[in-house]
Structure 1
Amino acid sequence: MRFMIIVRSTLDSEAGVMPSEELISQMATYHEELQKAGVLLDASGLQPSAKGWRIRYSGEKRSVVDGPFAETKELIAGYTFIQVQSREEALEWTKRFPNPAGVGKASEIEVRQLYELDDFEPGEAIERFRELETATEK
């Protein structure tokens, strides 16, 4: 089972303020523990939304909307992907996630399970995704 740990943006992260050395150290320790346990798939911080864009769909039309985006609480500042045996194991790991805003500050992370190909009805399109998955593992 794969899970995504989502770190929400803050006013500081959107302003490009880098985390403290203490927080970076805590995050490094946590991610080293994930790696040693063999459950870490990927992790990274994201640049502020001012450096990003969105593609807006309206029927067949697409338009580009450049950042920054106003709703900080709806933005993602970083993520960690883990692969574990159960929801309970994912919960135990995420309870140990360092406070992304820093010690003593109000903050929240969100955890979402990823769909697996077996969650979908079998079909030609799903088989195409299986082939892509196999090709990227090589």
Structure 2
Amino acid sequence: MKFMLIMRAVDQAAVDAFDNTDFDEIIAAMGAYNESMINAGVMADGAGLSDADEGAVVDFSDEDPVVTDGPYGELRELFNGFWMLEVSSKEEAIEWAKRAPLGAGSQIEVRRVTGPEDFPQDNEWVQKEQDWIAEGKLAGS
């Protein structure tokens, strides 16, 4: 099963703590965490995300999509990075999430990633996606 671990800072204190921590210390802690997941064979992908002001929101509420430059949303709504894990259960994904080197004011949301097997197998687009995966045409496959 594939799970996404979504990392967030939910309050300003968490952001300030990050900003006041030596960057080499942060990289070393995250690197060791990532390495432990790689060595266990569960980490499929992961990345940190840039500040919200380097992003945008595309809103489909109107007939024509509206693009708004960041920053956007409340602090607790933004996420700072993610990991993609290939594990046997939600419980295993949660156990890995609990090991993340994060402090107070941080959260990790654990979400299962759906795959072609979750949809009707007789659907033309589901079959195409399975072919794309088999042919290696999808990134990360």
TM-score > 0.5 by shorter chain: yes
2:2 corresponds in structure 1 to 2
2:48 corresponds in structure 1 to 45
Q: How many residues align?
A: 133
- Cα 1:134–1:33, aligned 2, differ >3 Å: closer, same or farther? same
- Cα 1:97–1:131, aligned 2, differ >3 Å: closer, same or farther? same
List alignment gaps of at least 5 residues for structure 1: none
2:106 is the alignment partner of 1:114: no
1:134 corresponds in structure 2 to 134
- Cα 1:59–1:128, aligned 2, differ >3 Å: closer, same or farther? farther
Measured on the aligned residues, the alpha-carbon RMSD in Å equals 2.4
- Looking at structure 1, the residues matched to 4 and 131 of structure 2 have their Cα atoms a distance apart, in angstroms, of 23
Q: Is the 8 A contact 2:56 2:70 kept in 1?
A: yes
- Looking at structure 1, the residues matched to 131 and 68 of structure 2 have their Cα atoms a distance apart, in angstroms, of 33
List alignment gaps of at least 5 residues for structure 2: none
Q: Normalization by structure 2: what TM-score? A: 0.82
Q: Is the 8 A contact 2:57 2:72 kept in 1?
A: no
